[in-house]
């Protein structure tokens, strides 16, 4: 069932992104007077197709790894004399640039819409308050202590831990000073300077928070079982709702978040002995946590949830905007993530960030499934981030991609004539080789993560 759900979430996510991207090309092409022959979601033979009144064939194909818009073009097939004015290659260079650029632009617009919906619907989250600080860490040397709410990182407001992490990711591989603004309770905010030296340079799976020595503050939650996943390790071991876990392997535990969860996560595939209290009596159960990947690491889980508890009221943050204010918020968010994507790409090329962080279709599918399970806000965020990545990727000046075509057409605009077919052919071969190589490397990374 989990696999089916993951596949469905992946198909929905990629299908939406590809459809929006190709529709951008399609919409502008139609308005530039270009005849569109085929609009296909996926490659290969059509599973289902139909035609509109303009004669355009719309198809859903069997290989869901992209899509394309096929236009009337003399370079691909002979064009009747009376239809030459509808051929793509006969349009002005400015129109061709607009048609090619429309796909990536549509992806950025989709991201804006997704972030706008999130901003209007709103999110309820926990304030980024620090837990125990690792002795001898960068954070401790900077003077950070437990109980500080991080208000800003490098001058950017950070109302959530997600925002804190994004700002930290921007500094991967760098040397210099990282500025944090934080306060304890309602005290006056204080500035903290953290010194970075080639920070996490080349790390395969960087964990910025841990690398700084920071942890998140968590309330003490009694390890009282609230719900069980049907057929999960906990249910098979005999755990029941309202069981209170009092010891693991003979060691007393009193905090679900601080004691039980870390122990289970660190014991994937390893037998554990749970001592539980049930109806006033103590009994011992034997359990083997199952394994799953979380944040790039193999962790254990048992399919059990803690009984409902409430965070302290002063720790809870509700963030939402009215529809008008949400527009610039969504635009700025999309711009910031676009800049972060480009910066990360540059650091990957220069070696500041390990190329092993490059992900392929397997990782995308896993994240799609996980985000869909986490709720609408998480899935929409995933859609927005992936759409931005697709837009940025397609604008790279590599032949085969939209960005490569834009380079050709811009050169034609400047020179007054197109580049020679020989140069374009060389570029096509180089671009195709580069893209296939990157795809294979990304898939290799995916498989390596599964193997680890």
The residues that are catalytic are 22
Tokens 């898939």 identify what position?
443
Task: Count CB neighbours of 433 within 10 A.
Answer: 11
Running DSSP on this structure, what letter comes out for residue 244? Answer: E
Q: What is the DSSP letter of 166?
A: H
Nearest to 35 by CA among 79, 97, 101: 79
Measure CA 350 to chain center.
22
Length in residues, the chain: 452
Phi, psi of 188 (to 5 degrees): -65, 130
CA angle, 31 as apex, 419 and 389 as ends, to 5°?
65
> How many other C-beta atoms lie within 10 A of the C-beta of residue 242?
12
Query: Do the Cβ atoms of 37 and 70 come closer than 8 Å?
Result: yes
Q: Which of 95, 71, 68, 92 is nearest to 83 (CA)?
A: 71
Q: How many CB atoms lie within 10 A of CB 436?
A: 11
Say if residues 69 and 38 touch (Cβ distance below 8 Å): yes
Q: How far apart are CA 184 and CA 150, in angstroms?
A: 9
């Amino acid at each position: 069932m989990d696999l089916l759900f993951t596949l469905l979430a992946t198909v929905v996510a990629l299908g939406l992104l590809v459809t929006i991207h190709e529709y951008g090309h399609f919409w502008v092409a139609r308005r530039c007077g270009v005849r569109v022959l085929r609009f296909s979601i996926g490659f290969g033979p059509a599973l289902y197709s139909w035609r509109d009144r303009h004669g355009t064939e719309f198809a859903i194909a069997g290989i869901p790894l992209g899509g394309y818009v096929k236009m009337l073009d003399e370079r691909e097939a002979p064009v009747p004399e009376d239809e030459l004015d509808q051929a793509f290659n006969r349009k002005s260079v400015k129109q061709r640039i607009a048609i090619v650029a429309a796909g990536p632009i549509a992806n950025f617009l989709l991201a804006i819409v997704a972030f706008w919906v999130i901003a209007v619907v709103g999110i309820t989250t926990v304030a980024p308050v620090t837990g125990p600080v690792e002795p001898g860490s960068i954070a401790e040397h900077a003077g950070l202590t437990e109980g500080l709410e991080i208000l800003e990182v490098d001058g950017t407001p950070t109302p959530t831990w997600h925002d804190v992490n994004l700002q930290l990711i921007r500094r991967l591989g760098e040397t210099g000073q990282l500025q944090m603004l934080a306060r304890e309770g309602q005290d006056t905010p204080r500035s903290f300077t953290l010194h970075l030296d080639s920070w996490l340079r080349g790390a395969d799976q960087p964990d910025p928070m841990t690398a700084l020595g920071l942890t998140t503050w968590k309330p003490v939650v009694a390890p009282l079982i609230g719900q069980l996943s049907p057929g999960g390790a906990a249910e098979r071991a005999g755990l029941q709702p309202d069981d209170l876990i009092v010891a693991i392997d003979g060691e007393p535990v009193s905090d679900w978040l601080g004691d039980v969860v870390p122990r289970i996560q660190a014991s994937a595939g390893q037998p554990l002995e749970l001592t539980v209290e049930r109806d006033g009596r103590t009994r011992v159960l034997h359990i083997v946590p199952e394994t799953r990947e979380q944040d790039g690491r193999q962790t254990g889980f048992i399919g059990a949830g803690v009984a409902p508890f409430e965070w302290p009221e002063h720790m809870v943050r509700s963030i939402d905007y009215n529809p008008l204010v949400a527009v610039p918020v969504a635009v700025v968010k999309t711009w910031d993530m676009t800049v972060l994507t480009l910066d990360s790409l540059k650091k990957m090329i220069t070696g500041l960030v390990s190329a092993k962080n490059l992900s392929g279709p397997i990782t995308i599918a896993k994240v799609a499934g996980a985000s869909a399970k986490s709720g609408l806000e998480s899935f929409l965020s995933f859609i927005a981030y992936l759409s931005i990545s697709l837009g940025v990727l397609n604008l790279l000046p590599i032949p085969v991609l939209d960005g490569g075509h834009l380079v050709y057409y811009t050169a034609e605009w400047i020179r007054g004539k197109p580049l020679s077919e020989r140069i374009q052919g060389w570029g096509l071969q180089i671009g195709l080789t580069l893209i296939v190589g990157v795809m294979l490397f990304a898939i290799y990374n995916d498989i390596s993560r599964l193997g680890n």
